[in-house]
Each structure stands twice: as C-alpha cells, then as structure tokens.
C-alpha cells in the first residue's frame, strides 16, 4: 500500500498546525502543546513456549502532562514504533480535550503480531511490560493509565491490574491503574462496546443534521444509509452492530483476509457467525468476494467507517473512495493528504479524535468508579424507582385513572450502571458534535470538522497551560 510520504506523527502535527493558524495563541504555547513530553523505549527478553528466547521491543509515550493522569491504549502490532506511539499519544491528548476528559494523552505498544503468540506467552510479555512501566513510573492511577487498543482487550488489562497491584499491594486505588478491565476486576459495564457505540451515536447525529446531509446530496436520517465497515475488532464489530440496530444498511465489510460486498445489504449477525465458523469473511452467501481488501473501501456506499488501523485512505486511493461520509473509527485511517483530496470533493469526514472518543470517555467513568470503590447507580437506583412510583401514584389520584402494572414497571425504572454509562456517553458525544459544527461554521469555509476539533482541543489545553505557568 502506498503510504503518504510523511510520518504519522507529522501528519497529526500538520493537522494541528492547520488549526493552530486559526487561533491567536502564542507560538511558544502552541509548541508546548504540540510536543511529545516523554517517550520510553525498552526491550526485554521473552522465553517462548519452545524454550527459544526473543527480545521484545516496547514503548510508552506520554504526550502531554497538562492534566494527570495521562491516558491511552496499549497496542500489540508489528507496526508499533516510536513515531506511531507519539502520534497516537498526541491524538489522545486532543481527544480527551474534545470530550472534556480531564487527562493528558498517552499511548503504548509492543511490536509483535499477537496472533503468533500463545496465551501463556502473551501473559508473560504483558506482565513484564507492566513491570517495566512500574520500574520507570510510567503507570499508576494518578500517573498514566493504559487501556485496550489494537490487539489487546480485557484479558490483557486483567493481567496488568494483577501485576500492578501485586507490586503495590497497599495502594487503595490500585485497580485504577488501567481501564477496559473485565467487570470482575473493577471494569465498568458498557466499556467493551463504548467506542463502537460512540462511533454509531456520532454517525447518527451527523445524519440527523439536514443542512449537512443536503450538502452531501443525502437525505437526513441514518435509516437506509449504505455503510461499509473496515476491521471487525472491538471498534468495528460494535459500530457495525449498533449502526444496523439504528436502521443503517451494511453493504460491505473489510478484514485482513479480504472484503465482501452486497449492495442489497448483509445480515451482520449471519456474517459474524460465518466468520467465526470459517475463520474468514469470504464466501458469505449472496455477497461478492473482493480479494484485495483495500478495494473493499472503494465500493459504492454512503458512509465508510475505517475501524482497523492508520493510513488506510491515502493520497493514492482517496480519489476512488465513493462514500460521501467517512467516520474515523480507527486512529489516523485517513492521511492528511487524503483528507485534502476528499474535502475538495465535499466528503464529510468525522475525525478520529472526536469520533472514537467514546472509549476513553467510558474509561474515565471506569477510573472514577475504581477511585470511589462503588458501582454507579448502586445507592440511588431503588430510591429513584420509589420516587417515580410515588409520582405515578399522585398522577393516578389526580386523574382517577390507574396505570397498568406494565406501564408502572416501564416508567418507574431507576438507572443502573449501564444506563448511566450509556447516558453519559450519548450526552457527551452529541453535545461535542454540535460544538464542533459550530466552530467549523464560525470559520467560514476555512475549517472542516477535523480542524474544528483541533481548534477546540488547542483552546482548552492552552487555557490549562496558561493557568499553570512554566515550572520553575
Ligand atoms: P482490534 O484489535 O480489536 O481489531 C482490529 C481489527 O482490524 C481486527 O479484526 C483485525 O483483523 C482488523 N484488521 C487489521 N488490519 C487490517 C487491515 N489491513 N484491513 C482490514 N482489517 C484489518 O482493535 P480495536 O481496538 O478495534 O482498534 C481498531 C482501531 O480503533 C485502532 O486504530 C485503535 O487505535 C482505534 N481505537 C480503539 C479503541 C478501543 O477502545 N479499542 C478506542 C479508540 C480508538
């Protein structure tokens, strides 16, 4: 695949510069924001199951300490390098600012193809990775809090929390050292699907703005919109599921092994079951196979959701993309050059550091839960239910009409943890979308949504650095 000639971190910075030019901040202050504060590259040995020893390369980057802890996922991929973790850490800083999560940005990674390691090997290297971070003070509830990313999930987070708390057993808030954990290890309901749910909320909200849809030549509303999703991991799988639930028509899916396309729509649950059974998307009944996976992105659709990796839509393939809207489920899937090409064609891009922020937002809720040691909704759920019942009783008395048991049960529900998490997620994503549109519109054609999201983040971080001053 032809990558654009500049690195991922340079691309993020190019987008930053474009937005910074629309602000009035001092160049010195902008330089402080843009720079990556710390990068730790380390190696350690792993004994493979067959007795061979391998040297593992790992990184953790903390981009900005204007708010602590820093926060960002851990990625297991052969593409991990210093530039990538710095770029992803920077995106985390801007992402947290856009959705008002009070953290700085960070990212970590181990350069491996996780599919070629056994579960025991992955456990050994995850625990060692955590141990190395502890040694250098690069992890902790108030320091730097990792989460899942490409190639990692709740299982790896459980190994990390276990290793961290074994090394610091007296730390009362130790479980807050990492988020995205299994529920039994201090995780929060709704975190696993939060990023995909957030991407779907954002897509739906964008489709509801009639003025923007008109400019794209589309009718308002998500119902009936044709969607292609790339990557069926944590983000892509949940995005596809929620978009279908809300009435979108899934016409294409793209994975490692190739892509499938059916203009009449794919039954996502059946495709998922087919892939579990055959280990491949290909040969799904009724759909056309596309052997070159990148060509899957170029098929007819209204909305494209790249949710696999960075650099998927470049200057080379951008002219062949037919979607009118691209929602960046992955971090950095559209290069800055490709963004320009697509903008010239009027394609609406909903940028990564807003679109996929649902994950870090719910991670923030998990962190709060861990610090308070109590499940959200535990104390008020029953109280709320009883209050609603009292209101319904009053209405019955006043109207002399009785509600049915079912009506009472439906109306008198207190919020549990999942309700509260999903409510906080939806409210934040929807509110932020309208703020970004407003910033874009204020800049009279000089800003797209990506630039607007950078302007929003830069303004918020700048105030923070100005208030803090420079130490010493
Ligand atoms: P994942 O490992 O769960 O899934 C990635 C999926 O992409 C896998 O199914 C893999 O087979 C597929 N894939 C890999 N390379 C591909 C290619 N070239 N073409 C098509 N498919 C390919 O990872 P994830 O957590 O879903 O992360 C995906 C992206 O979303 C990454 O950019 C990540 O940084 C970003 N992201 C993740 C989260 C999160 O909460 N997990 C939050 C925000 C952003």
- For residue 365, what pLDDT is reported? 98
How far is the C-alpha of 47 from the C-alpha of 122, rounded, in Å? 11
Q: Please tell me if the CB atom of residue 234 comes closer than 6 angstroms to any atom of ligand 1.
A: yes
Ligand 1 mean position, distance from CA 252 (Å): 17
Q: Please tell me if the CB atom of residue 307 comes closer than 6 angstroms to any atom of ligand 1.
A: yes
Q: How many residues does the chain have?
A: 472
Specify whether the CB–CB gap between 95 and 360 falls below 8 A.
Answer: yes
Rg value, the chain, Cα: 23
How far is the C-alpha of 34 from the C-alpha of 30, rounded, in Å? 6
List per-residue pLDDT tens for the chain, 472 residues long.
Answer: 445 579 999 999 999 999 999 999 999 999 999 999 999 999 999 999 999 999 999 999 999 999 999 999 999 999 999 999 999 999 999 999 999 999 999 999 999 999 999 999 999 999 999 999 999 999 999 999 999 999 999 999 999 999 999 999 999 999 999 999 999 999 999 999 999 999 999 999 999 999 999 999 999 999 999 999 999 999 999 999 999 999 999 999 999 999 999 999 999 999 999 999 999 999 999 999 999 999 999 999 999 999 999 999 999 999 999 999 999 999 999 999 999 999 999 999 999 999 999 999 999 999 999 999 999 999 999 999 999 999 999 999 999 999 999 999 999 999 999 999 999 999 999 999 999 999 999 998 889 999 999 999 999 999 999 999 998 9
How far is the C-alpha of 362 from the C-alpha of 191, rounded, in Å? 6
Ligand 1 mean position, distance from CA 75 (Å): 9
Residue nearest to atom 39 of ligand 1 (CA): 149
Q: Please tell me if the CB atom of residue 336 comes closer than 6 angstroms to any atom of ligand 1.
A: no
Q: Which two tokens stand for residue 453?
A: 């999201």
Q: Please tell me if the CB atom of residue 187 comes closer than 6 angstroms to any atom of ligand 1.
A: no
Please name the residue that has the structure tokens 């960070």: 106
| Angle of the 194-207 helix axis to the 358-372 helix axis, nearest 10 | 130
- For residue 162, what pLDDT is reported? 98
Three-class SS state of 190: coil
Tell me, letter by letter, the H, E, C secondary structure of 74-97: EEECCCCCHHHHHHHHHHHHHHHH
- For residue 445, what pLDDT is reported? 83
Sheet of 53-62, strands arranged across: 38-47, 53-62, 104-110, 70-76, 144-148
Specify whether the CB–CB gap between 421 and 188 falls below 8 A.
Answer: yes
How far is the C-alpha of 175 from the C-alpha of 161, rounded, in Å? 6
Q: Which of 145, 235, 256 to mutate to test the pocket of ligand 1 (most atoms within 8 A of CB)?
A: 235
DSSP letter, residue 246: T
460 part of the active site: no
- For residue 1, what pLDDT is reported? 40
Active-site residue identified among 34, 67, 95, 107: 107
Ligand 1 mean position, distance from CA 92 (Å): 16
């Amino acid at each position: 695949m032809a990558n654009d000639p500049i690195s991922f971190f340079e691309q993020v910075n190019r987008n930053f510069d474009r937005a910074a030019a629309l602000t009035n901040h001092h160049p010195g202050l902008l330089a402080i924001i843009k720079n990556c504060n710390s990068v730790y590259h380390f190696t350690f040995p792993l004994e493979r199951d067959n007795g061979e020893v391998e040297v593992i390369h790992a990184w953790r980057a903390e981009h900005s300490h204007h708010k602590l802890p820093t926060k960002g996922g851990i990625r297991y991929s052969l593409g991990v390098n210093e530039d990538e973790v710095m770029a992803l850490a920077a995106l985390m800083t801007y992402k947290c600012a856009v959705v008002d999560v009070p953290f700085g940005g960070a990212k970590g990674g181990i350069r491996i193809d996780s599919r070629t390691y056994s579960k025991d090997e992955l456990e050994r290297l995850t625990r060692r990775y955590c141990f190395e971070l502890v040694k250098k003070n690069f992890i902790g509830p108030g320091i730097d809090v990792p989460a899942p990313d490409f190639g990692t999930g709740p299982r790896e987070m459980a190994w990390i929390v276990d290793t961290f708390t074994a090394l610091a057993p007296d730390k009362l808030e130790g479980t807050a050292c990492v988020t995205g954990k299994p529920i039994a290890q201090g995780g929060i309901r709704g975190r696993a699907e939060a990023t995909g749910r957030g991407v779907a909320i954002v897509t739906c909200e964008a489709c509801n703005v009639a003025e923007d849809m008109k400019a794209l030549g589309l009718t308002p509303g998500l119902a009936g919109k044709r969607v292609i999703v790339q990557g069926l991991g944590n983000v892509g799988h949940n995005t596809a599921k929620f978009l279908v639930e809300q009435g979108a028509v899934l016409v294409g899916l793209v994975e490692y092994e190739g892509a499938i396309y059916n203009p009449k729509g794919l039954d996502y649950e059946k495709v998922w079951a087919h892939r579990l059974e055959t280990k491949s998307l290909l040969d799904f009944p009724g759909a056309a196979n596309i052997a070159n996976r990148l060509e899957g992105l170029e098929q007819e659709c209204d909305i494209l959701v790249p949710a696999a990796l960075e650099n998927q839509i470049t200057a080379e393939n951008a002219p062949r993309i037919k979607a009118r809207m691209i929602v960046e489920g992955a971090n950095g899937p559209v290069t800055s050059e490709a963004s320009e090409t697509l903008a010239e064609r009027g394609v609406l891009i909903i940028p990564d550091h807003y679109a996929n922020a649902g994950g870090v937002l719910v991670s923030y809720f998990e962190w709060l839960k861990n610090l308070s040691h109590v499940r959200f909704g535990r104390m008020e759920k029953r109280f709320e239910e009883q209050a609603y019942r009292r209101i319904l009783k009053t209405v019955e008395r006043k109207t002399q009409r009785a509600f049915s048991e079912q009506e009472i049960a439906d109306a008198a529900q207190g919020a549990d943890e999942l309700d509260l998490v999903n409510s906080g997620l939806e409210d934040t994503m929807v509110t932020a979308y309208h703020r970004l549109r407003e910033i874009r519109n204020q800049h009279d054609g000089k800003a797209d949504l990506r630039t607007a999201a950078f302007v929003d983040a830069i303004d918020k971080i700048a105030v923070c650095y100005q208030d803090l001053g420079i130490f010493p």
